[in-house]
Structure 1
């Protein structure tokens, strides 16, 4: 009976999260609390076993660092300088914004980057009198692709990195950056081909771009060099983490506390904490509790057995299945709940004789992050861009996005399949 109850609670919460009618943090939290009240697990198990506080703390620390750095106007300044560099020409501007978004998403988290980039691009398209939709869609797609490249770029990667300790920041760079770079180039060519006529069919007054003064966005205060210093220091810490023998969460927390101490004269701690995306953090907590219920009653064990039974324990078959299943499903549901459910499933595969699980982890990361481009519901970054665009009366419709995004997902998964096969699986065939 408890198994059925947990399954029903999970499915109901999942459907409500997809519908986006009620805040997803409330839904996930309510589901977790309901399982507590039903006695599926006790409060000690919930807080000490199922909630991954390392992931919560890492996200919290990075939110603080980016929040303070964002106040200095550094990101807007860089975007405008690059726009001037291409003289406001629509196609080069599309390329520059896409590259900037992808690179930023790799090292700062895609949700944060789109929050900073979208207001800038909306200002630019108004001045140049060019369509906003191609740029908004390019930002969404680039943020999800760029976020795939590193451990901190997209929440699914953070979750995988915290679950598998030997998958360091450098491991993600080494294993995912090559294929992500190829995918990004292919997709960027596709977007240029797709929007070339729309962006060049009108006469553009490129001189308007020079009316924007990049320095107006830059807050020339002592916080600016301090933020840049701590940001570079923290990212360097991530990269050299194997040599430092300090976990990523500790490095991120150290960076956040250091930056708050250095800038406390300009930015009060309570003001900085108000900028933290608490809704996202509480959503993660509720999500961990929901997935904990599935683990507690053995549903995840059955999923693992079913996966092994279907693939007959064959590593290549399992890896490719995870890649495509995750990629396609992540396009229609938020990738965070699916990855949270899949991590314990893959860990269970050790019990069935699979000793080398790394190809499965890379398949899961690629599928979850790249699959987020399928629809507007596929990633948190997608919904953030859509919400910001709606405020600016540049509505990105579900149908319009899926026409562009779903082909991107298919291309991305095909390239990823070839990459995973030849880099990790060909020796097992």
Structure 2
């Protein structure tokens, strides 16, 4: 634990001199209050909540501004910022509009095809572009397609959310929890492809299959429209505006970025630095106005991460994670299979109800402490955390960022999504996929062991 007494300037000015136990308690209190404000996003925006927590940490002297700055994981922020810029250029080129138009044609107006094609398309994009960015452009398209075909958009929007979270589980860049784990644990793109992707791909098909069964049972896969209406829906006369040269440049840079993700980690290149560099190069050759592109960056998400890193940094500075890691070590012992199940299922349960990003930031810090004791032997716990946190995000409407983003889009489009509307589909899908992925991973690990 670091020396903290000198940092308590405000508390000292108020005549308060706290001992180590009191400092730990204060750090925990601020963390829980920040969590509570995040859960009350209906009243306080989650980014404001995280920044308030970070300000309180510095004002009360738990961290100095310099220490707070050092607590921020810039590899994570660079990775998010870089991928956002690449996606923004792709969007500007008309790439996503083109893909959506082609996907609509492939559905042939059949509700079952709409469900499967758009779900699998969402899962695929989510694995390589990050799921929050994917649902931002996919959700409005699904609303338009469903409405044109005389379908209720809500179940299809839920399917997009579930697919984005299962598909995003597969790679380092697919879901924010994986970005955090990769940075904290020092894991590369290939590590996730090898250890997590097979289970994520399997449960993606399970998730869409279960959605198919539930939607067929409640009549959501039945459409009522005439042949003329179907033809009008499938042949959109609206001209498609694309920039083929810009699209080609963006796709080449995107491909190079993925290649560098795979080969960069072994030679010491962090994913965040790669994404920042390649996206900056794309801005150079795209010849677009950077100010216009930067306006489309999700700054609220980046600031949300910054605030949370500071709040969690106060817990680490106070030695909380060391104590939790010791307790986890005693609970797991030498039985790593038990640890996989314990970390995986508990991560899914907690992530489903408190948002998987702040949970993963704090849990990753615990496992980092544990890594100091167990070394590479505890690697399976990182993958259990990834599977649990990402798949558990499907439990409730507040379980993951993608859920909240689609909910906002649905409300804006005139199809409000309630907590129970989502949970009716999300809870069974999350339960089945998490039990399957974590259980299968523990089984495979036991065979290898």
TM-score range, shorter chain: over 0.9
- Who is 1:124 aligned against? 145
- Who is 1:29 aligned against? 51
Q: Separation in 2 of the partners of 1:32 and 1:111?
A: 24
Contact 2:325–2:370 (CA under 8 A) maintained in structure 1: yes
The answer to whether 1:256 aligns with 2:279 is yes
Which of 377, 395, 398 is equivalent to 2:419?
398
The answer to whether 1:247 aligns with 2:270 is yes
Task: Rate the CA distance shift 1:271–1:200 in 2: closer, same or farther, 3 A.
Answer: closer
- Who is 1:343 aligned against? 364
Matches within 5 A, 1:85-96: 85-96=106-117
RMSD: 1.7
Q: Separation in 2 of the partners of 1:424 and 1:312?
A: 16
Q: Separation in 1 of the partners of 2:372 and 2:248?
A: 51
Q: Separation in 1 of the partners of 2:189 and 2:376?
A: 22
TM-score scaled by structure 2? 0.90
Q: Separation in 2 of the partners of 1:317 and 1:87?
A: 48
- Who is 1:273 aligned against? 294
Q: Separation in 2 of the partners of 1:286 and 1:18?
A: 15
**1:185-224: CA deviations, max 9, x gaps?**
111111111112523434234323323258x334235322
The answer to whether 1:217 aligns with 2:217 is no
The answer to whether 1:183 aligns with 2:203 is yes
Q: Separation in 2 of the partners of 1:195 and 1:213?
A: 30
How much has 1:137 moved relative to structure 2? 0.5
**1:360-387: CA deviations, max 9, x gaps?**
0000000000000001100000000000
How much has 1:116 moved relative to structure 2? 0.7
The unaligned stretches of length 5 or more in structure 2 are: 1-21
Secondary structure of 1:199's partner?
Answer: coil
Contact 1:315–1:354 (CA under 8 A) maintained in structure 2: no
Task: Rate the CA distance shift 1:366–1:6 in 2: closer, same or farther, 3 A.
Answer: same
- Who is 1:235 aligned against? 258
Q: Separation in 2 of the partners of 1:242 and 1:228?
A: 22
Which stretch shifts more, 228-237 or 358-367? 228-237
Secondary structure of 1:357's partner?
Answer: helix
- Who is 2:405 aligned against? 384
**1:217-264: CA deviations, max 9, x gaps?**
342353222222212221222233256653322221121111111122
**1:316-353: CA deviations, max 9, x gaps?**
22221010000011111110111110112112223544
Q: Separation in 2 of the partners of 1:407 and 1:60?
A: 33
How much has 1:73 moved relative to structure 2? 1.9
Q: Separation in 1 of the partners of 2:260 and 2:378?
A: 26
Q: Separation in 1 of the partners of 2:386 and 2:412?
A: 32
Contact 2:150–2:224 (CA under 8 A) maintained in structure 1: no
Secondary structure of 1:129's partner?
Answer: coil
- Who is 1:319 aligned against? 340
The answer to whether 1:61 aligns with 2:78 is no
- Who is 1:194 aligned against? 214
**1:158-188: CA deviations, max 9, x gaps?**
01111122x2101111211111111111111
Q: Separation in 2 of the partners of 1:129 and 1:409?
A: 28
- Who is 2:93 aligned against? 72
TM-score scaled by structure 1? 0.94
- Who is 2:232 aligned against? 208
The answer to whether 1:13 aligns with 2:13 is no
Q: Separation in 2 of the partners of 1:95 and 1:328?
A: 27
